[in-house]
Amino acid sequence: MCENNHQTSNHPSHFENQNDSNEIPTHVELKWDEFQEKIRGFRFFDPHIHMVSRTTDDYQNMAQAGIVAVIEPAFWVGQPRTGLSTFKDYYSSLVGWERFRSSQFGIKHYCTIGLNSREANNERLADEVMEILPLYIYKEGVVGIGEIGFDDQTELEEKYYRLQLELAKEAKLPVQIHTPHRDKKRGTERSMSIALEHGLDPSFVVVDHNNEETVKSVLDQGFYAAFTIYPFTKMGNKRMVSIVEEYGAEKIMINSSADWGISDPLAIPKTAALMVSRGISHDVIRKVTYENAIEAFAKSGQIHVSDFENGLSSDPSDKFHGNSVLRGGQQPKRNQNSLFID
Ligand SMILES: [Zn+2]
Protein backbone atom coordinates (compact mmCIF):
# COMPACT_ATOMS: atom_id res chain seq x y z
CA MET A 1 0.00 0.00 0.00
CA CYS A 2 2.65 2.38 1.13
CA GLU A 3 4.83 1.33 -1.79
CA ASN A 4 2.00 1.95 -4.30
CA ASN A 5 1.48 5.46 -3.04
CA HIS A 6 5.13 6.08 -3.29
CA GLN A 7 5.17 4.91 -6.93
CA THR A 8 2.25 7.11 -7.89
CA SER A 9 3.80 10.21 -6.48
CA ASN A 10 6.96 9.53 -8.42
CA HIS A 11 5.22 9.50 -11.82
CA PRO A 12 6.19 12.43 -13.99
CA SER A 13 3.38 14.97 -13.96
CA HIS A 14 2.38 14.50 -17.61
CA PHE A 15 1.35 10.90 -16.86
CA GLU A 16 -0.97 12.12 -14.14
CA ASN A 17 -2.44 14.71 -16.49
CA GLN A 18 -3.20 12.09 -19.07
CA ASN A 19 -5.27 10.15 -16.60
CA ASP A 20 -6.87 12.88 -14.59
CA SER A 21 -7.77 15.77 -16.84
CA ASN A 22 -10.00 16.33 -19.83
CA GLU A 23 -7.39 18.34 -21.64
CA ILE A 24 -7.22 17.73 -25.36
CA PRO A 25 -3.84 16.26 -26.26
CA THR A 26 -1.61 18.43 -28.43
CA HIS A 27 -1.22 15.88 -31.19
CA VAL A 28 -3.34 12.94 -32.28
CA GLU A 29 -2.40 10.74 -35.19
CA LEU A 30 -5.33 10.58 -37.59
CA LYS A 31 -6.16 6.96 -38.28
CA TRP A 32 -8.50 6.93 -41.26
CA ASP A 33 -10.59 3.98 -39.99
CA GLU A 34 -11.15 5.45 -36.53
CA PHE A 35 -11.84 8.85 -38.07
CA GLN A 36 -14.47 7.40 -40.38
CA GLU A 37 -16.03 5.51 -37.49
CA LYS A 38 -16.40 8.75 -35.48
CA ILE A 39 -18.14 10.60 -38.29
CA ARG A 40 -20.20 7.70 -39.58
CA GLY A 41 -23.69 8.82 -40.56
CA PHE A 42 -22.79 12.51 -40.82
CA ARG A 43 -22.86 14.39 -44.07
CA PHE A 44 -21.06 17.69 -44.39
CA PHE A 45 -21.48 20.94 -46.31
CA ASP A 46 -18.38 23.12 -46.72
CA PRO A 47 -19.63 26.65 -47.43
CA HIS A 48 -16.19 28.10 -48.21
CA ILE A 49 -13.56 26.24 -50.20
CA HIS A 50 -11.55 27.15 -53.31
CA MET A 51 -11.58 23.94 -55.29
CA VAL A 52 -9.91 25.39 -58.41
CA SER A 53 -6.72 25.26 -56.33
CA ARG A 54 -7.23 21.70 -55.11
CA THR A 55 -6.47 18.32 -56.60
CA THR A 56 -8.54 15.29 -57.46
CA ASP A 57 -7.05 13.57 -54.37
CA ASP A 58 -8.77 16.26 -52.30
CA TYR A 59 -12.08 15.67 -54.02
CA GLN A 60 -11.77 11.93 -53.37
CA ASN A 61 -10.86 12.35 -49.71
CA MET A 62 -13.63 14.88 -49.17
CA ALA A 63 -16.26 12.60 -50.70
CA GLN A 64 -14.97 9.69 -48.64
CA ALA A 65 -15.20 11.78 -45.46
CA GLY A 66 -18.84 12.62 -46.09
CA ILE A 67 -18.67 16.05 -47.74
CA VAL A 68 -21.66 16.12 -50.08
CA ALA A 69 -21.73 19.78 -51.15
CA VAL A 70 -19.48 22.85 -51.24
CA ILE A 71 -19.65 26.56 -51.95
CA GLU A 72 -16.72 28.09 -53.79
CA PRO A 73 -16.51 31.86 -53.29
CA ALA A 74 -14.85 33.92 -56.00
CA PHE A 75 -11.58 35.27 -54.62
CA TRP A 76 -8.05 36.44 -55.30
CA VAL A 77 -5.91 33.95 -57.21
CA GLY A 78 -2.65 34.75 -55.40
CA GLN A 79 -1.41 37.38 -57.84
CA PRO A 80 -3.21 40.39 -59.27
CA ARG A 81 -5.21 39.83 -62.43
CA THR A 82 -4.20 42.09 -65.29
CA GLY A 83 -7.41 42.30 -67.27
CA LEU A 84 -11.12 41.76 -67.38
CA SER A 85 -10.93 38.63 -69.46
CA THR A 86 -9.19 36.67 -66.69
CA PHE A 87 -12.05 37.62 -64.35
CA LYS A 88 -14.51 36.37 -66.95
CA ASP A 89 -12.69 33.09 -67.40
CA TYR A 90 -12.46 32.61 -63.63
CA TYR A 91 -16.17 33.25 -63.04
CA SER A 92 -17.00 30.99 -65.98
CA SER A 93 -14.92 28.20 -64.48
CA LEU A 94 -16.76 28.53 -61.13
CA VAL A 95 -20.13 28.04 -62.80
CA GLY A 96 -18.79 25.63 -65.42
CA TRP A 97 -15.79 23.35 -65.40
CA GLU A 98 -15.19 23.32 -61.63
CA ARG A 99 -18.81 22.50 -60.95
CA PHE A 100 -18.60 19.66 -63.43
CA ARG A 101 -15.30 18.41 -61.99
CA SER A 102 -16.81 18.37 -58.50
CA SER A 103 -19.87 16.48 -59.68
CA GLN A 104 -17.59 13.80 -61.13
CA PHE A 105 -16.42 13.08 -57.59
CA GLY A 106 -19.96 13.00 -56.22
CA ILE A 107 -19.91 16.47 -54.62
CA LYS A 108 -22.49 19.15 -55.40
CA HIS A 109 -20.78 22.45 -56.19
CA TYR A 110 -22.20 25.94 -55.71
CA CYS A 111 -20.42 29.26 -55.84
CA THR A 112 -20.66 32.89 -54.83
CA ILE A 113 -19.60 35.56 -57.30
CA GLY A 114 -18.01 38.89 -56.46
CA LEU A 115 -15.05 41.22 -56.69
CA ASN A 116 -12.60 40.35 -53.91
CA SER A 117 -11.36 43.09 -51.61
CA ARG A 118 -7.73 43.06 -52.74
CA GLU A 119 -8.54 43.66 -56.38
CA ALA A 120 -11.06 46.33 -55.43
CA ASN A 121 -7.96 48.51 -55.07
CA ASN A 122 -7.42 48.51 -58.85
CA GLU A 123 -10.16 51.04 -59.63
CA ARG A 124 -10.05 50.86 -63.44
CA LEU A 125 -10.35 47.09 -63.44
CA ALA A 126 -12.82 47.05 -60.55
CA ASP A 127 -15.21 49.26 -62.53
CA GLU A 128 -15.04 46.86 -65.45
CA VAL A 129 -15.66 43.89 -63.17
CA MET A 130 -18.70 45.58 -61.61
CA GLU A 131 -20.19 45.85 -65.10
CA ILE A 132 -19.96 42.12 -65.80
CA LEU A 133 -21.03 40.82 -62.35
CA PRO A 134 -24.74 40.89 -63.26
CA LEU A 135 -23.99 38.49 -66.10
CA TYR A 136 -22.88 35.84 -63.61
CA ILE A 137 -24.84 36.30 -60.39
CA TYR A 138 -28.10 35.04 -61.84
CA LYS A 139 -26.61 31.85 -63.23
CA GLU A 140 -27.66 28.44 -61.95
CA GLY A 141 -25.86 27.40 -58.77
CA VAL A 142 -24.78 30.92 -57.75
CA VAL A 143 -25.91 31.16 -54.13
CA GLY A 144 -24.64 34.61 -53.18
CA ILE A 145 -22.35 37.58 -53.67
CA GLY A 146 -18.93 36.77 -52.29
CA GLU A 147 -16.42 36.85 -50.98
CA ILE A 148 -16.46 40.60 -50.57
CA GLY A 149 -15.49 43.05 -47.83
CA PHE A 150 -12.28 44.43 -46.45
CA ASP A 151 -8.63 43.46 -46.66
CA ASP A 152 -6.53 46.55 -45.94
CA GLN A 153 -9.68 48.56 -45.17
CA THR A 154 -9.01 51.16 -47.89
CA GLU A 155 -11.47 53.65 -49.35
CA LEU A 156 -11.65 51.73 -52.62
CA GLU A 157 -12.40 48.50 -50.79
CA GLU A 158 -15.28 50.28 -49.08
CA LYS A 159 -16.54 51.71 -52.37
CA TYR A 160 -16.80 48.32 -54.09
CA TYR A 161 -18.08 46.60 -50.96
CA ARG A 162 -20.97 49.06 -50.85
CA LEU A 163 -21.70 48.68 -54.56
CA GLN A 164 -21.80 44.90 -54.22
CA LEU A 165 -24.09 45.06 -51.18
CA GLU A 166 -26.51 47.02 -53.36
CA LEU A 167 -26.17 44.38 -56.06
CA ALA A 168 -26.95 41.63 -53.53
CA LYS A 169 -29.97 43.52 -52.28
CA GLU A 170 -31.29 44.01 -55.78
CA ALA A 171 -30.75 40.34 -56.68
CA LYS A 172 -32.07 39.14 -53.28
CA LEU A 173 -28.95 37.06 -52.79
CA PRO A 174 -27.07 36.22 -49.59
CA VAL A 175 -23.72 37.93 -49.00
CA GLN A 176 -20.51 36.20 -47.96
CA ILE A 177 -18.20 38.63 -46.17
CA HIS A 178 -14.45 38.14 -45.96
CA THR A 179 -13.16 39.87 -42.83
CA PRO A 180 -9.57 41.13 -42.71
CA HIS A 181 -6.70 39.31 -41.01
CA ARG A 182 -5.21 42.56 -39.73
CA ASP A 183 -7.25 44.73 -37.40
CA LYS A 184 -9.97 42.08 -37.54
CA LYS A 185 -12.28 43.37 -34.85
CA ARG A 186 -12.55 46.84 -36.34
CA GLY A 187 -12.88 45.45 -39.88
CA THR A 188 -15.64 43.08 -38.83
CA GLU A 189 -17.62 45.78 -37.03
CA ARG A 190 -17.22 48.11 -39.99
CA SER A 191 -18.38 45.40 -42.44
CA MET A 192 -21.51 44.78 -40.37
CA SER A 193 -22.43 48.41 -39.82
CA ILE A 194 -22.09 49.18 -43.53
CA ALA A 195 -24.28 46.17 -44.40
CA LEU A 196 -26.93 47.42 -41.96
CA GLU A 197 -26.60 50.94 -43.33
CA HIS A 198 -27.46 49.58 -46.78
CA GLY A 199 -30.56 47.95 -45.35
CA LEU A 200 -29.45 44.34 -45.67
CA ASP A 201 -31.27 41.78 -43.57
CA PRO A 202 -28.53 40.29 -41.34
CA SER A 203 -30.01 36.84 -41.85
CA PHE A 204 -28.89 37.21 -45.49
CA VAL A 205 -25.31 37.96 -44.48
CA VAL A 206 -22.63 35.42 -43.55
CA VAL A 207 -19.69 37.07 -41.80
CA ASP A 208 -16.67 34.85 -42.31
CA HIS A 209 -13.31 34.18 -40.63
CA ASN A 210 -14.55 34.91 -37.11
CA ASN A 211 -12.64 34.27 -33.92
CA GLU A 212 -13.23 34.57 -30.17
CA GLU A 213 -13.00 38.36 -30.41
CA THR A 214 -15.71 38.85 -33.02
CA VAL A 215 -18.25 36.05 -32.54
CA LYS A 216 -20.43 37.62 -29.86
CA SER A 217 -21.09 40.86 -31.69
CA VAL A 218 -21.78 39.06 -34.99
CA LEU A 219 -24.38 36.77 -33.40
CA ASP A 220 -25.89 39.54 -31.25
CA GLN A 221 -26.58 41.58 -34.37
CA GLY A 222 -28.32 38.67 -36.10
CA PHE A 223 -25.67 37.81 -38.72
CA TYR A 224 -24.42 34.31 -39.46
CA ALA A 225 -20.98 33.68 -37.96
CA ALA A 226 -18.72 31.49 -40.09
CA PHE A 227 -15.42 30.11 -38.81
CA THR A 228 -12.51 29.06 -40.94
CA ILE A 229 -10.58 26.16 -39.50
CA TYR A 230 -7.06 26.90 -40.64
CA PRO A 231 -3.72 25.57 -39.54
CA PHE A 232 -1.45 28.18 -37.89
CA THR A 233 -3.63 31.26 -38.54
CA LYS A 234 -7.34 31.98 -38.06
CA MET A 235 -8.87 29.17 -35.92
CA GLY A 236 -7.63 25.76 -34.89
CA ASN A 237 -10.37 23.19 -34.41
CA LYS A 238 -9.76 22.76 -30.69
CA ARG A 239 -10.60 26.44 -30.23
CA MET A 240 -13.64 25.90 -32.45
CA VAL A 241 -14.95 23.19 -30.15
CA SER A 242 -14.72 25.61 -27.22
CA ILE A 243 -16.64 28.29 -29.15
CA VAL A 244 -19.47 25.86 -29.90
CA GLU A 245 -19.48 24.79 -26.25
CA GLU A 246 -19.85 28.44 -25.25
CA TYR A 247 -22.21 29.84 -27.92
CA GLY A 248 -24.17 26.78 -29.03
CA ALA A 249 -25.04 26.08 -32.66
CA GLU A 250 -27.48 28.80 -33.74
CA LYS A 251 -26.21 30.68 -36.82
CA ILE A 252 -22.71 29.26 -36.48
CA MET A 253 -21.05 27.41 -39.37
CA ILE A 254 -17.62 25.95 -39.97
CA ASN A 255 -15.64 25.97 -43.20
CA SER A 256 -12.19 25.02 -44.47
CA SER A 257 -11.44 27.97 -46.80
CA ALA A 258 -8.97 25.54 -48.33
CA ASP A 259 -7.15 27.23 -51.20
CA TRP A 260 -3.68 27.42 -52.78
CA GLY A 261 -2.02 27.92 -49.40
CA ILE A 262 -1.49 25.53 -46.50
CA SER A 263 -5.00 24.55 -45.57
CA ASP A 264 -7.07 21.42 -45.02
CA PRO A 265 -10.03 20.40 -47.19
CA LEU A 266 -11.02 17.92 -44.46
CA ALA A 267 -11.28 20.64 -41.81
CA ILE A 268 -15.02 20.11 -41.33
CA PRO A 269 -15.08 16.32 -40.90
CA LYS A 270 -11.98 16.49 -38.66
CA THR A 271 -13.62 19.11 -36.47
CA ALA A 272 -16.80 17.04 -36.36
CA ALA A 273 -14.75 14.03 -35.21
CA LEU A 274 -13.18 16.16 -32.50
CA MET A 275 -16.62 17.35 -31.42
CA VAL A 276 -17.85 13.76 -31.23
CA SER A 277 -14.85 12.93 -29.02
CA ARG A 278 -15.64 15.90 -26.80
CA GLY A 279 -19.23 14.71 -26.30
CA ILE A 280 -20.96 17.48 -28.26
CA SER A 281 -24.41 16.35 -29.36
CA HIS A 282 -24.93 15.13 -32.90
CA ASP A 283 -27.68 17.73 -33.40
CA VAL A 284 -25.27 20.55 -32.63
CA ILE A 285 -22.57 19.06 -34.86
CA ARG A 286 -25.05 18.67 -37.71
CA LYS A 287 -26.07 22.30 -37.41
CA VAL A 288 -22.57 23.77 -37.53
CA THR A 289 -21.23 21.42 -40.20
CA TYR A 290 -24.25 21.12 -42.50
CA GLU A 291 -27.66 22.60 -41.72
CA ASN A 292 -26.84 26.23 -40.89
CA ALA A 293 -24.86 26.76 -44.09
CA ILE A 294 -27.74 25.34 -46.10
CA GLU A 295 -30.25 27.51 -44.23
CA ALA A 296 -28.19 30.65 -44.93
CA PHE A 297 -27.45 30.10 -48.60
CA ALA A 298 -30.73 28.41 -49.58
CA LYS A 299 -32.22 31.91 -49.38
CA SER A 300 -30.79 32.26 -52.90
CA GLY A 301 -33.43 29.78 -54.06
CA GLN A 302 -30.63 27.75 -55.65
CA ILE A 303 -30.06 24.98 -53.10
CA HIS A 304 -32.22 21.88 -53.14
CA VAL A 305 -31.13 19.45 -50.46
CA SER A 306 -32.60 16.49 -52.32
CA ASP A 307 -29.94 17.09 -55.00
CA PHE A 308 -27.14 15.99 -52.70
CA GLU A 309 -28.33 14.62 -49.35
CA ASN A 310 -27.98 11.07 -50.55
CA GLY A 311 -24.91 11.79 -52.63
CA LEU A 312 -24.61 12.59 -56.31
CA SER A 313 -24.36 9.81 -58.76
CA SER A 314 -21.60 10.58 -61.21
CA ASP A 315 -21.25 9.11 -64.64
CA PRO A 316 -17.56 8.81 -65.48
CA SER A 317 -18.34 9.15 -69.15
CA ASP A 318 -20.03 12.54 -68.68
CA LYS A 319 -18.48 15.41 -70.53
CA PHE A 320 -18.41 19.16 -70.11
CA HIS A 321 -18.30 20.90 -73.49
CA GLY A 322 -16.79 17.74 -74.89
CA ASN A 323 -14.16 17.32 -72.15
CA SER A 324 -14.09 14.64 -69.49
CA VAL A 325 -12.28 14.63 -66.12
CA LEU A 326 -11.64 10.93 -66.39
CA ARG A 327 -9.29 10.10 -69.18
CA GLY A 328 -9.78 6.97 -71.25
CA GLY A 329 -11.99 4.87 -68.98
CA GLN A 330 -10.48 5.93 -65.64
CA GLN A 331 -12.67 5.40 -62.59
CA PRO A 332 -13.36 8.28 -60.19
CA LYS A 333 -12.07 6.25 -57.24
CA ARG A 334 -8.56 4.93 -56.97
CA ASN A 335 -6.70 3.40 -54.07
CA GLN A 336 -4.42 6.10 -52.74
CA ASN A 337 -2.85 3.75 -50.22
CA SER A 338 -1.39 1.56 -52.91
CA LEU A 339 2.15 1.90 -54.17
CA PHE A 340 0.98 0.76 -57.58
CA ILE A 341 -0.58 3.22 -59.98
CA ASP A 342 -2.62 1.20 -62.42
ZN1 LIG B 1 -11.78 32.41 -49.33
- The DSSP annotation for 300-342 comes to GS---GGGTTT-----TT--BTTB-SS-TT--S---TT-S---
Average pLDDT, the chain: 89
Q: Give the residue from 63, 114, 74 showing the smallest Cα distance to 98.
A: 74
Over residues 281-296, mean pLDDT: 98
Q: Measure 330 CA to ligand 1 centroid, in angstroms.
A: 31
Q: Measure 204 CA to ligand 1 centroid, in angstroms.
A: 18
Q: Measure 20 CA to ligand 1 centroid, in angstroms.
A: 40
Over residues 290-299, mean pLDDT: 98
Task: Write down the pTM of the prediction.
Answer: 0.89
For 111-142, the pLDDT digits (tens) are 999 999 999 999 999 999 999 999 999 999 99
Q: In what order do the strands lie in the sheet with 108-113?
A: 44-46, 67-73, 108-113, 142-149, 175-178, 205-207, 224-228, 252-255
Q: Is the pLDDT of residue 17 over 50?
A: no
Which pLDDT belongs to residue 236? Answer: 87
Give the model's confidence band at 21: pLDDT under 50 very low, under 70 low, under 90 confident, else very high.
very low
Q: Is the pLDDT of residue 70 over 90?
A: yes
Q: Measure 47 CA to ligand 1 centroid, in angstroms.
A: 10
Which pLDDT belongs to residue 15? Answer: 33
Q: Measure 292 CA to ligand 1 centroid, in angstroms.
A: 18
Which domains occur in the chain, in start order?
42-303 (3.20.20.140)
Q: Measure 341 CA to ligand 1 centroid, in angstroms.
A: 33
Q: Measure 11 CA to ligand 1 centroid, in angstroms.
A: 47
Which pLDDT belongs to residue 26? Answer: 63
For 164-195, the pLDDT digits (tens) are 999 999 999 999 999 999 999 999 999 999 99
Q: Measure 73 CA to ligand 1 centroid, in angstroms.
A: 6
Q: Measure 77 CA to ligand 1 centroid, in angstroms.
A: 10
Q: Is the pLDDT of residue 335 over 60?
A: yes
Residues near ligand 1 ion, CB 5 Å cutoff: 75, 257
